[in-house]
Chains A and B, each alone.
Chain A
Amino acid sequence: MIAFLASRLVKGVVVLLAIAVLNFALIRAAPGDPATVMAGEAGAADAQFVEQLRVRFGLDRPILEQLGIYLKGIVTLDLGYSYRQNRSVASLIGDRLPATLLLTGTAFVISLALGTLFGALAAARVGRISDSLITTGALLFYATPLFWVALMSQIVFSLKLGLVPNVGYETIGAGYTGLARVLDIGHHLILPAVTLGLFFTALYARMMRASMLEVAGADFVRTARAKGVAPGSITRRHVARNAILPVVTLAGLQAGQIVGGAILTETVFAWPGIGRLMFEALAQRDYQLLLGVFFCSSAMVVLFNLVTDVIYRLVDPRIEVGA
């Protein structure tokens, strides 16, 4: 197990470095640079203005030298400095991390719990009304663009019914502290978390149902049934446990994205998270910041892939971790 972890960690570091170089190259392939963007926003500019910015951003140096500086920073865990925002990348990401973790974490828990539950229910009642309802609902939320669901939920629940605030992280200017603030943030969290969660709930439910049905037809389940094991116990101990492996894979993928945030949801709900930070950095060609977010996200994906592999083994001891 330890040898396995060590070898995977080494591989992970290599993958991360490769990703860092690739990201760097990809970003530079996009047209425009942070200096032209800032000049464009200023409403007036001259060559001297753009040149001053390029020098300040370090963009006047040869590209390989810039790559070298960046990689050197990465190796020493220094994500660099966002000249546009005049702050270190680490502090910018750190600022947004709590909001993103809250949103994606909540959505993750909601969707994993509800998704597997609905999937299992649907599979257990295959062909009945409740199964049809669940599968139709899942298909609907799986197929509907998140963006549209987000806007419609704002119109219905915020504008028409006035139940929840439509945008933001907390009530701006209310000055809540302690429990009142926690409740206020929770209130703001409902719409984005549910909207984001719905998509994944649908995904897990469909996966769980299909997987359950597949396992339910397997020989060992027939054997268990022949032995006279109670149906509930078969579902729980034999079917669900085997069927959950694909769901774990999917959950591992989603968990890897927790830190990356959710661009669409955060944008539509003005949630001050990392997804928005990344999207805005992209639109502004804030190279360092963008690379920083990419790097953190890819580190998380590598990490959660590893965690998923370990969980496989816990769920199904037959799987050799070292393999």
Chain B
Amino acid sequence: MLKSSILAAVSAASLLLGAAGAFAQAPKAGGALQVVVTPEPPGLMLGLTQNGPTQMIASNIYESLLRYDEKLNPMPSLAKSWEVSPDQTVYTFKLQDGATWHDGKPFTADDVVFSLDVFLREVHPRWRQIANNQVKAIEKVDDLTVRITTKQPFGPFLLSQEAASAPMVPKHIYAGTDYRANPMNATPIGTGPMKFKEWRKGSYVLLAKNEAYWDKGRPYLDEMYFQFIPDAASRAIAYETGKVDVLTGGSVEIFDVARLAKLPNTCVTTKGWEMFSPLAWITPNVKNGILGNKQFRQAMMYAIDRDFGKDVIWSGYGKVATGPITSKTKFYSADVPTYKFDPKKAKELVAASGYKGETIRFLGLPYGETWARWAEAVKQNFEDVGIKMEIVSTDVPGWTQRVSNFDFDLTFNFLYQYGDPAIGVGRSYVTSNIVKGNPFGNVGQYSNPEVDALFAEAAIAPAEKRQELYTKVQKILVDELPLLWLLEMDFPTVSRCNVKDLVTTAIGVNDSAKNVWKQ
């Protein structure tokens, strides 16, 4: 029981050493940080809204029990330490002393129980899955201790407490109210290192230092401005002219990153996405004609020049994917069939599959230039092996609607893995997730009872047994290709080099900036 808290302390300490060791400089307090976030989020109440921009801003306001280092080891946040029972079903969290909400009220075990057992269970689609299927009880032991009991050992439990996955929300503000209509959503109250100060719609959100922050000495910054600049090219110029210090991942087109990286005093890092580890793929709708044919799907996989996609379309960022689990995620296995770019083999498989030249509709992903170019490259690859493809373009709501309703032949998608296959991977393959109305379900409608059983078993198997099960499921999936995995994506963060310790955890700029300081 003691072991895991010691481990946590050691990993936290080693992280600090690592940060300090490189340049033995003492962080300097003060200054304002100008960050570009895109697009402007609908709200900042992290419990209700978990999209990327909301998280980048609001994880400075709200905190969760744990944070994670880049190897995905848990680190203390609002939980000072934690213990896991030997049978891996009871988790006891000790909370930080002296943590307070931004309105001065103390943060206690009541808030944790309210957040996890009531609020998030009601509104949070990811936490709800875990709370309803895996958790038996969430109880207050005393004011600063919470005990969570799971129904069975649930491997990824300790990974489920990331800022946006399980943010702590104030009970005294939300208990008994209509959460989405609560007027306090406009002026969010959290425990985090920065406090909400102002939201000038269409321009920026301003956060100011929380002087009463429980982690003494932090944060270093006085203010953070999150600017909203709708056009990608203008965002790049705003960085070049010095208006902003940080371009968060995805805020400029990838081909601009390479150009900006050459500017003086500019640092680019691909770190800080280990937890999410976005994986890009093509979803074939296996219920649509020839796409249900395994040989045809394999033909498509051999036909796509995935190295070209990485090197040219994505300017060399990322890593060609080998299967459903990325190499940064737990239980990744490289022991799977491989698909090298091989147009000749693709042609043979196309012929063997019984494809009669029907046109396949490819629904483009409306997330900017890079995706549009990639769709064109794939079309070229397909036509070279005799597959007819037509690109259908749409806007974001149209894409979401069509994908949610299985109204496509092929489409791009990229999804976060959330560190553990039980949270972020299984959802795209299991039969129980073939549900209309959810763009993050199993929209390709692949169904294989063996795969279902393996994912179900692996989620609740004892830790030492999980790798074996996941290795097995990866082998099956890579052979059957319910999805055509293309790229383990990098979302490079561009920043001025004098902005220090910007990325120190597995969620990087999606995490709070409590360690960030300006030289």
Contacts and interface: CB of A to CB of B under 8 A. Distances in A.
Contacts of A155: 237
Interface residues of A, number: 56
A268 B231 contact: yes
A161 to B, nearest CB: 11
Contact of A45 (B39, B42, B399, B439): B439
Given A48-B128, A172-B227, A280-B40, A37 B397 contact: yes
Contact of B440 (A43, A96, A273, A283): A43
Given A36-B401, A52-B123, A166-B241, A47 B435 contact: yes
B49 to A, nearest CB: 7
A84 interface: yes
Nearest to B394: A31
A320 B306 CA distance: 71
Contacts of A95: 201-202
A165 B241 contact: yes
A45 B443 CA distance: 13
Contacts, number: 170
B256 interface: no
A1 interface: no
Contacts of B51: 38, 41-43
B60 interface: no
Given A31-B401, A36-B400, A44 B126 contact: yes
A127 to B, nearest CB: 41
A128 to B, nearest CB: 39
A217 interface: no
Interface in A1-59: 30-33, 36-50, 52, 56
A31 B439 CA distance: 14
Interface string A145-168: 000000100110011001001111
A162 B201 CA distance: 27
B237 A154 contact: yes
B433 to A, nearest CB: 9
B11 interface: no
Contact of A151 (B129, B223, B233): B233
A173 B223 contact: yes
Interface string B86-113: 0000000000000000000000000000
A43 B50 contact: yes
Interface string A272-302: 1100110110011100000000000000000
Contact of B229 (A44, A85, A167): A167
A49 B435 CA distance: 13
Contacts of B235: 167
Nearest to B366: A283
Interface residues of B, number: 59
A189 B231 CA distance: 17
B227 A86 contact: no
Nearest to A51: B437
B243 A165 contact: yes
Contacts of A270: 203, 227-231, 234, 238
A36 to B, nearest CB: 5
Given A159-B237, A165-B241, A276-B202, A46 B438 contact: yes
A33 B400 CA distance: 9
B363 to A, nearest CB: 12
Nearest to B427: A44
A81 to B, nearest CB: 10
A137 to B, nearest CB: 25
B506 to A, nearest CB: 16
A293 to B, nearest CB: 13
A36 B39 CA distance: 17
B118 interface: no
Contact of A42 (B32, B50, B129, B201): B50
B125 A40 contact: no
A38 B201 CA distance: 18
A166 B396 contact: no
Contacts of A50: 437-438
Interface string B425-464: 0010000000101111100000000000000000000000
Contacts of A162: 241
A109 interface: no
B234 A38 contact: no
Interface in B147-187: 180-181, 185-186
B416 interface: yes
B290 to A, nearest CB: 26
Contact of B125 (A49, A99, A284): A49
A169 interface: yes
Residue in B42, B200, B206 whose Cβ sees the most chain A Cβ within 10 Å: B42
Given A267-B230, A283-B397, A44 B202 contact: no
A170 to B, nearest CB: 8
Interface string B390-418: 00001111111110100000000001100
B43 interface: yes
Contact of B227 (A41, A49, A168, A279): A168
Nearest to A154: B237
A100 to B, nearest CB: 10
Contacts of B214: none
B68 interface: no
A139 interface: no
Contacts of A311: none
Nearest to B127: A44
B292 interface: no
A26 to B, nearest CB: 14
Contacts of B396: 32, 37, 40, 283
Interface string B18-54: 0000000000000010100001101100000111100
Contacts of A92: 201
B202 A172 contact: no
Interface of B: 32, 34, 39-40, 42-43, 49-52, 123, 125-126, 128-129, 180-181, 185-186, 200-204, 206, 223, 225, 227-231, 233-235, 237-238, 240-241, 243, 394-402, 404, 415-416, 427, 435, 437-441
30 contacts: A31-B397, A32-B398, A36-B404, A39-B404, A40-B439, A43-B50, A44-B50, A46-B441, A49-B123, A56-B180, A83-B180, A84-B42, A86-B43, A86-B181, A92-B201, A154-B233, A158-B237, A158-B241, A159-B240, A166-B237, A168-B227, A172-B203, A172-B243, A267-B231, A268-B231, A268-B234, A270-B203, A276-B230, A279-B230, A283-B396
Given A52-B180, A159-B237, A165-B243, 4 more contacts: A45-B440, A172-B34, A270-B203, A273-B202
Interface of A: 30-33, 36-50, 52, 56, 83-87, 92, 95-96, 99, 151, 154-155, 158-159, 162, 165-169, 172-173, 267-270, 272-273, 276-277, 279-280, 283-285
The 5 closest A-B pairs by CB, nearest first: A32-B397, A272-B202, A40-B400, A41-B51, A32-B401
